[in-house]
Structure 1
């Protein structure tokens, strides 16, 4: 009996010791931070991991457990929000002031904010002055293309959707099917989401004669006006202008295919250019604004913050989490982050070189529009936007059914 009581006492002592250490700390005083990012490209994840490792080397008492759920990020974030258990550091991916606002710590008193780009400041700061996240970089999204392929087949970067369709058909014909005109890594449904989200802007917003922004915001939008996009995607698939494995292809395949000159256009962005050129220095990857759809419109970039990091309001280690943000806000680290992701930095005291700098210069003055879903749709629409693309290309949905599904999801989520 005495032996049993001793064992129980030891067990209770051990349990108490573990509890005293906290959920995110080890017994030797090391603090464990969790970090969750939306980075999907291998090169983007690589630069994250390098910077995390550099920080840990300088701060041996802090260990960062970084994760990249890719296509599962939003679902995982919803589960964590419901449990009120967000990671210590997490990406707000365009929803800092809305979806994640109640879960973020205010960062407005940090030193780096004095150098925050005004465009980014307005996107991340609410009316009360609360700054919800640190922007690692800025996005200028459009179409990414293999310049070698376009040059070989005499194709100019298209300025309209009609020109885009013609370019795809020309590449298929002239390459005798050896080059995939438009490649999508659709096992990650966000690839279809990118197609719909980016082209929805010229279809429904920026044309003076076809602007539905107010109707989308007040709930009166007729979703049949959206059907053009699934119709065109279906047409691309039927004409074999998409890769045959568009629904199952992995985004990690893109760089190798582009490096082999087997792909013309993609929806990939960011570090894909550096990744491809590292595999084949002879290949140059270009970027261009989203083509216009209506005659009275012009091409536009789709932009905003790309990667961010917010500190969880409920983190047990806010000081250490902020220390990591202070670290990545240092000009030399911010420069490394921007160059590593091939996107413009978000701080005025950073001068980063960019893989796509020449292309951005070529389109200087082109307007920048916000992401369609962030500006005009209720939270949660990104998932059905991508999923309906998968079902359309797999043959499970018609273009009309895609629009009907989007309407249903809008009505459900806007309430």
Structure 2
């Protein structure tokens, strides 16, 4: 039976107050979340670490099934029965909760200074004046490769686009491996692991993303068409029948050792570690030419906020300050390799593949997916349309210019940049 998600604020035995501001009463906090796969990590690692340092506060992690979370949470918030701490999805879903008065403004909570504006962007109001969730983790895009295949073929991880396509050509010519495992049937991979993976090197990360939001750039500009043109060149290297290949198909092709490269999100690391019987490495999206500044999609994935109606805001804020601390970041990021701390304090990763991904932050500039903030609120939805256009371009059913023009036309039909 699924754990019942319920607000659990218990006012227990009174304790003596002190000049240091101890809690007048014991407090119990409940965390709402969709990450039911994280239950053991919270119960065995995170909560014990917090409770050891804060003996007056008891914390319960009470997740819902991911597909039920949004509806269940909204119903409980409306009924006044939601937990004290709310795990936040990125961008509009959580912004809507804040705008409805369900999430508290956390701008002044100690520890929020540990995060950059980019790190907080998924949980900050459009005007930048309020942040309503503590950033917990991001996922980073790049390419995971089969080290044994690269060694066998004498290939080194490519740094430029020319080197990237030369490596793909060499793998294809050898014939032992499919050069790259990605299909277009499920659409979203073509955009998420394709367009949004390589695109930031073209539109210069935050510079281009923010210019698009302001209306200073268009999706028909060369820096936005360019990633489509590069994706179109992937087609010969994706293997026979890639148009009918699903996301799980691609995962299996790579972990079974049949493909040499996998366009990836770092969330794959834990699963690949258990499934692949070969050594893996990773490289960031290749730059267009040597010496160019590199950019990575370091995309905000999960945060945690406070129910504005919690009866124990002081205890909740104490917990949120701990989530903003280096201690939490180190425990969480190593318990879930591939979900990286958004804190400005670097976290040393125990998993070598995860450490490779996170090391790119030291040499590349971070950005988030271009479609996620503000630009996918209308119809047609720019994020979903980018899935379709990316797949079409790779399949060869649409040119890069056609895809870009249709995306811009759709955006223009409902979006008017703020002046």
- Give the TM-score, by structure 2 length: 0.68
Q: Is the 8 A contact 1:141 1:289 kept in 2?
A: yes
Offset at 1:224?
6.0
Q: Distance in 2 between matches of 1:395 and 1:315?
A: 53
Q: Is the 8 A contact 1:138 1:306 kept in 2?
A: yes
Consecutive unaligned residues in structure 2, runs of 5 or more: 12-27, 52-56
Q: Is the 8 A contact 2:178 2:258 kept in 1?
A: yes
| Number of residue-to-residue matches in the alignment | 371
Tell me which residue corresponds to 1:143: 143
2:231 is equivalent to residue 233 of structure 1: yes
Q: Distance in 1 between matches of 2:346 and 2:203?
A: 37
| Residue of structure 2 aligned with 1:49, choices 6, 17, 39 | 39
Q: Distance in 2 between matches of 1:288 and 1:101?
A: 37
| Residue of structure 2 aligned with 1:272, choices 244, 268, 272 | 268
| 1:10-34: CA deviation from partner (whole Å, max 9, x where unpaired) | xxxxxxxxxxxxx9569x9999764
Tell me which residue corresponds to 1:204: 203
Q: Distance in 1 between matches of 2:184 and 2:318?
A: 37
Offset at 1:338?
0.3
Offset at 1:411?
1.0
Distance 1:401 1:327, change over 3 A: same
Aligned to 1:148, what secondary structure does the other structure show? helix
Consecutive unaligned residues in structure 1, runs of 5 or more: 1-22, 38-44
Superposed, 1:371-390 pairs within 5 Å as 371-373=368-370, 378-380=375-377, 381-390=382-391
Distance 1:241 1:365, change over 3 A: same
Q: Distance in 2 between matches of 1:413 and 1:84?
A: 30
2:300 is equivalent to residue 305 of structure 1: yes
Q: Is the 8 A contact 2:29 2:60 kept in 1?
A: yes
Tell me which residue corresponds to 1:366: 363
Aligned to 2:332, what secondary structure does the other structure show? helix
Tell me which residue corresponds to 2:255: 259
Tell me which residue corresponds to 1:285: 280
| 1:281-316: CA deviation from partner (whole Å, max 9, x where unpaired) | x52322222212367734332325343233455789
Tell me which residue corresponds to 2:165: 165
Q: Distance in 2 between matches of 1:319 and 1:187?
A: 49
Q: Is the 8 A contact 2:89 2:301 kept in 1?
A: no
Q: Distance in 1 between matches of 2:29 and 2:164?
A: 52
Q: Distance in 2 between matches of 1:377 and 1:31?
A: 32
Distance 1:376 1:242, change over 3 A: farther
Q: Is the 8 A contact 2:183 2:238 kept in 1?
A: no
Answer with 191-200 or 140-149: which moved more.
Answer: 140-149
Distance 1:230 1:344, change over 3 A: closer
Tell me which residue corresponds to 1:342: 338
| 1:107-137: CA deviation from partner (whole Å, max 9, x where unpaired) | 24545446x3456666456677633212222
Q: Distance in 1 between matches of 2:285 and 2:150?
A: 17
Offset at 1:406?
1.0
| 1:247-279: CA deviation from partner (whole Å, max 9, x where unpaired) | 54134862x443332222223232433432333
Superposed, 1:13-412 pairs within 5 Å as 24=6, 34-36=32-34, 46=37, 48-54=38-44, 62=60, 64-69=62-67, 89-93=86-90, 102=99, 104-113=103-112, 116-118=114-116, 123=121, 130-174=130-174, 176=175, 178-184=176-182, 186=184, 188-194=186-192, 195-205=194-204, 214=211, 217-218=214-215, 221=218, 223=220, 225=222, 226-237=224-235, 239-242=236-239, 244-245=241-242, 248-251=245-248, 254=251, 256-280=252-276, 283-293=278-288, 297-311=292-306, 313=308, 325=320, 333-339=328-334, 340-347=336-343, 348=345, 352-356=349-353, 359=356, 365-373=362-370, 378-380=375-377, 381-393=382-394, 397-412=398-413
Distance 1:361 1:61, change over 3 A: closer
- Give the TM-score, by structure 1 length: 0.68
Q: Distance in 2 between matches of 1:158 and 1:332?
A: 35
Distance 1:187 1:135, change over 3 A: farther
Aligned to 2:264, what secondary structure does the other structure show? coil
Q: Is the 8 A contact 1:205 1:213 kept in 2?
A: no
Q: Is the 8 A contact 2:255 2:275 kept in 1?
A: yes
| 1:380-415: CA deviation from partner (whole Å, max 9, x where unpaired) | 422211132234456664444322221122213423
Distance 1:135 1:203, change over 3 A: same
